[in-house]
Amino acid sequence: MNIRLYTLSAFLYLSLCLNAQIDRTQQPKPGPAPEITLEKPVEFTLENGLKVLIVENHKLPRVSMNLAFDRTPILEGDKAGVSSILGAMLGNGTASITKDDFNEEIDFLGANLSFGFNGGFASCLTKYHERIIELLADATLNSLLTEEEFEKNKDLLLEGLKSQEKSVDAAAANVGSALSFGLSHPYGEIETEKSINNVTFDLVKTYYLNYFQPSQAYLVVLGDIDVASTKALVEKHFGPWQNTVSEKISIPKANANPVQLEINFVDMPNAVQSNISLTSNVELKMSDEDYHAVLIANKILGGGFNSYLNMNLREEHGYTYGARSSVAADKYITRFNAGTSVRNEVTDSAVVQTIKEIKRIQEYPVEEDALANAKAKYVGDFVLALERPSTVARYAINIKTNDLPENFYSEYLKKINAVTVADVQRVANKYFNAKNARFIVVGKGSDIIENLEKTGIPIKYFDKEANPVNKPEFKKPIPEGVTVKIIMDNYIDAIGGKKAVEDVKTVLTNVDVTIQGAPFKPTAVIKTMGPNKESMEMSVQGMGTIMKQVFNGKSGYTEQQGNKQDMPESEILKKQKQKGLFAETYLDPEELVLVSLISVNGVDAYKIQVDKDNGSFRYYNAETGLLIRTESAQEAQGQSITQLTDISDYKDIDGVLMPHTKVINAGPQIITFSASEIKINEGVSKKDFK
């Protein structure tokens, strides 16, 4: 009995354990939402207008101070770079402390202090904060500016520019804002070697005098401090800061968006990835009704890993390490941006997929799940941000500088949660303008431009400083040792070797001709005999011969519907230059020029100039050696038209590779010749050329 009881209880225990076991096939549900408390910083304004915010946080024995200016954006114009130089000079000594002493003291205390044109930052251990706040104030009010430091920082800025010269991303960022906002807009102007060299020491001093105004500044002190003593410190050190009168600034209008989607291309031959971004100007302020809905819509489109853009370009296609979109709210103007970096070969595909995803969010309602997830992410980010004490101060400054209601952040999560499916679609159409937009593409033109052209989006070309340029010729470096002769010989070898080629005396070709847009399909018989005899007879079923063209070596004619015309002298001269059935057997390499290695229909090809006067070129596949294209200029109705003939579909005929397809592009006309049969040294006699 006892034993049985024991077994039973063991059994019960076992089953209890089993019951207690978790079901890992089910995703755990979150517990009750944690309580969120938003602290408020202590705020006060000094008599000079400096607005001060103090946040106490005693978790770690450290203090940070942040001085930030809220100015109207400034256009630096042909002296762009002045604010950067000034920013770099600040924080290196004061009127009463030399540069070396100043920096030595900061370093000795293990503290950090840095400045830029838009403000200053300092951090240190609590035990040194009184001195550091004093140094920050001194550097703000009485910064030491010397000619020597000016020259040095100007040189550094110039060198920095040089070090970025080959950076695809730097060029993309510059050109993107310059083309969107305009080179003469504060958000669009670019610092160039020229503009930096225009900056004078006097101008730097003027900027310091005019733009460092306490009435435009915010100071945040944060950390292991108490409010009362910090307030006294701030008043003591920042109190003497005086406003000087500065002129009122007006902001120029930003560029208009383009009337239709266009690609703005910048060539950088060193690129292994293309930086692409679709961008258009929009107006969006934090205080706008739509602000929260735009945040959510952008999160869904490209605001995170599982957004439309990233899931398509990274996860589905593997084009990129990441794709994102953004619309940062701004008091004046901002832009919508959807961008990524992709390997060269898929640049055009990435362009197409980006447009597709933007259209998707505009044309189709977002799924409820995706909307809920996007909201959850914002809620989570809001909670996670609370870990950083600086969040509280940032919120307080945002409220002041962006004209937001006092309850903006306490209402924030409520507004986020109120966004609907319809809201997302509406704001996507309003703010994600992909019709009047530009694709900024920075990459290696020789690899990507051909395919980009196939997207049908008009392409404009720019240099790295956003100035328009003509379409460049995209070429690649020609490998060492490659010459015209080698390319010619390679061709002969590729099609069967010298002996086989010399044995070809006549060629008979039966072809099907397709003329784009024409309702009938002619066939033709083409006969050639070395060195330069040629005849072609074209016929259409049910109509008989419609055209015949013959050249017998000395003269020739064209016969069309009973109308016979002699070959003009100029044409005869041209034909007489032909010394064999294969140009490569008689052309003199010395007279030809190897122009470049370029991409033709996606393959690398050597471009050789045959005749300078009439602009004729031959293109050889760099890998296979085969001739893949000829180019010549033709006169037609007084105009010069470039005629491109693409040659392909090589097949072995009696030991010689003969192309079976030729596509002739002449202006708007496209004519395709496909050989149904080719015969060598068979079916051709001299009388065919009478």
Phi-psi region of 483 (alpha: psi -120 to 50; beta: other; left: phi over 0): beta
14 binds another protein (CB under 8 A): no
State the nearest-atom distance from the C-beta of 172 to another protein, in Å: 11
Q: Which residue in the set 2, 19, 25, 470 belongs to the binding site for another protein (CB under 8 A)?
A: 25
Q: Based on the shown chain and the rule CB under 8 A, indicate whether residue 390 belongs to the binding site for another protein.
A: no
Min CB(426)–another protein separation in Å: 23
Q: Which value, to the nearest 10 degrees, does the dihedral of the CA atoms of residues 598, 599, 600, 603 take?
A: 120
176 or 304, CB closer to another protein? 304
Name the nearest CA neighbour of 269 among 598, 551, 23.
598
Kindly state whether residue 227 participates in binding another protein, applying the rule CB under 8 A.
no
Q: Is 387 in the site for another protein (CB under 8 A)?
A: yes
* Site stretch for another protein (CB under 8 A), options 279-287, 303-311, 331-339, 608-616: 303-311
Query: Which residues is 122 bridged to in the sheet?
Result: 65, 113
Residues 6+ apart with CB under 8 A from 222: 54, 55, 57, 63, 64, 65, 66, 389, 390, 393
Residue of the chain from 49, 77, 160, 568 that contacts another protein (CB under 8 A)? 160
User: 338 burial class (0-12, 13-18, 19+ CB within 10 angstroms)?
Assistant: buried
Q: Is 38 in the site for another protein (CB under 8 A)?
A: no
Angle between helices 82-89 and 201-211 (to 10 degrees): 80
Exactly one of 13, 44, 321, 557 binds another protein (CB under 8 A); that residue is 321
Q: Please state the closest distance from residue 224 (CB atom) to another protein, in A.
A: 9
Q: How far is the CB of 147 from another protein (least distance, A)?
A: 14
* Mode of pairing for the β-strands spanning 262-267 and 438-443: parallel
The three-state (H, E, C) secondary structure of 525-581, written as one string: EEEEECCCEEEEEEEECCCEEEEEEEECCCCEEEEECCEEEECCHHHHHHHHCCCCC
Q: Which region among 96-104, 196-204, 238-246, 354-362 touches another protein (by CB under 8 A)?
A: 96-104
326: contact with another protein by CB under 8 A: no
Among 39, 70, 131, 164, binds another protein (CB under 8 A): 164
Q: Closest CB to another protein among 14 and 384?
A: 384
If binding is defined by CB under 8 A, does position 167 make contact with another protein?
yes
Please, which of residues 60-89 interact with another protein by CB under 8 A? 60-62
Of 328-347, which residues contact another protein (CB under 8 A)?
Answer: 341-343
Comparison of 313 and 513: residue with beta carbon closer to another protein: 313
270 binds another protein (CB under 8 A): yes
Q: Which of 100, 363, 403, 463 binds another protein (CB under 8 A)?
A: 100
Q: Inter-axis angle of helices 201-211 and 147-163, to 10 degrees?
A: 100
Closest to another protein by CB, 103 or 436 = 103
**What is the sign of the dihedral through the CA atoms of 152, 153, 154 and 160?**
positive
Closest contact distance (angstroms) between CB of 16 and another protein is 14
- Which one-letter amino acid corresponds to residue 455? T
Contact between 21 and another protein by CB under 8 A: the answer reads yes
Task: Count the residues of the shown chain that bind another protein, applying the rule CB under 8 A.
Answer: 80
Residues of span 354-383 touching another protein by CB under 8 A? 369, 372-374, 376-381, 383
**Residues with Cβ < 8 Å from 489, sequence gap 6 or more?**
none
Min separation Cβ 304 and another protein, Å: 6
We find the least distance from the C-beta atom of residue 311 to another protein, in angstroms, to be 8
d(CA 650, CA 358) in angstroms, rounded, equals 43
Give the separation between CA 195 and CA 206, rounded to whole angstroms: 17
Kindly state whether residue 35 participates in binding another protein, applying the rule CB under 8 A. yes
d(CA 671, CA 554): 28
CB of 152 to another protein, least distance (A): 6
- Figure out which of the listed residues 5, 17, 19, 24 binds another protein, where binding follows CB under 8 A: 24
- 32 lines the binding site for another protein (CB under 8 A): yes
With CB under 8 A as the contact rule, the residue among 78, 134, 147, 165 that binds another protein is 165
Q: By CB under 8 A, tell whether 19 contacts another protein.
A: no
Under the binding rule (CB under 8 A), the answer on residue 163 touching another protein is yes
CB atoms within 10 A of CB 183: 17
Question: Which one of 6, 13, 305, 586 is in contact with another protein (CB under 8 A)?
Answer: 305
597 sits near another protein (criterion: CB under 8 A): no
Q: Is 395 in the site for another protein (CB under 8 A)?
A: no
Among 90, 168, 178, 581, binds another protein (CB under 8 A): 168
Alpha-carbon distance of 205 to 209, in angstroms, equals 6
User: What is the rounded CA–CA span in Å between residue 140 and residue 150?
Assistant: 17
8 Å CB contact between 60 and 93: no
Q: Does 36 bind another protein (CB under 8 A)?
A: yes
Q: Is 302 in the site for another protein (CB under 8 A)?
A: no
Tell me the sheet residues that pair with 123: 64, 112
Instruction: Please identify, among the stretches 313-321, 452-460, 546-554, 574-582, the one whose residues bind another protein according to the rule CB under 8 A.
Output: 313-321
Position 22 contacts another protein (CB under 8 A):
yes
Instruction: Name residues whose C-beta falls within 8 Å of residue 413's C-beta, 6 or more positions apart in sequence.
Output: 36, 378, 379, 382
List binders of another protein among 105-144 (CB under 8 A): 106-112, 123-127
CB 557 within 8 A of CB 547: no
Partnered with residue 114 across adjacent β-strands are 121
The answer to whether the peptide bond before residue 269 is cis (omega within 30 degrees of 0) is no
Q: How far apart are the first and last CA of the chain?
A: 123
Residue 157 Cβ vs another protein, minimum distance, rounded to whole Å: 11
Distance (Å, whole) CA 235 – CA 510: 96
Contact with another protein (CB under 8 A) among 16, 156, 249, 518: 156
Judged by CB under 8 A, does residue 17 bind another protein? no
Stretch that binds another protein, among 101-109, 214-222, 482-490, 661-669 (CB under 8 A): 101-109
